[in-house]
């Protein structure tokens, strides 16, 4: 698997690179914001989540889409190295999906998911063994 992938958008070349381990913290922080965004949008005046019905979703949809859009753009920016301003002003949805696909491909996300699943199986056994020692 290549460590980079070049994509061309609106005549401009972007090189999507593997995300270095040191950058994953920033990526996790951007990803971690998503649940808070949902809570912010659907929280009542007391700060607690309200019952979410169809009417509430319809009323809050514009704010939710705006907030999630900002969070998703931040994730793409961190993962791709493309400036947030460029993503939000110059890149269309179809091109954004090309960028996401390149990020997933270069970083071999399918293999990472499989390895994490295997790690979940092995890690508890290893920790139990360590505690008994």
Tell me the per-residue pLDDT of 50-67, one tens digit each, with 9 for 90 and over.
667 777 777 777 777 777
For 38-88, give the DSSP string.
HHHHHB-TTSSBPP--HHHHHHHHHHHHHHHHHHHHHHHHHHH---HHHHH
pLDDT band at residue 130, thresholds of 50, 70 and 90?
Answer: low
Q: How far apart are CA 6 and CA 15, in angstroms?
A: 4
**pTM for this model (two decimals):** 0.67
The size of the chain, in residues, is 133
Tell me the per-residue pLDDT of 103-121, one tens digit each, with 9 for 90 and over.
989 988 877 778 877 777 7
């Amino acid at each position: 698997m290549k460590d980079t992938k070049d994509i061309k958008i609106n005549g401009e070349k972007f090189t999507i690179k593997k995300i270095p381990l040191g950058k994953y913290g920033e990526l996790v922080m951007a990803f971690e914001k998503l649940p808070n965004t949902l809570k912010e949008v659907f929280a009542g005046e007391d700060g607690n989540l309200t019952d979410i019905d169809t009417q509430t979703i319809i009323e809050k949809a514009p704010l939710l889409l705006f907030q999630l859009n900002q969070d998703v753009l931040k994730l793409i920016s961190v993962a791709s190295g493309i400036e947030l301003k460029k993503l939000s002003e110059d890149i269309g949805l179809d091109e954004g999906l090309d960028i996401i696909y390149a990020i997933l491909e270069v970083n071999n996300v399918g293999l990472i998911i499989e390895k994490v699943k295997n790690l979940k199986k092995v890690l508890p056994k290893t920790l139990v063994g360590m505690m008994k020692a």
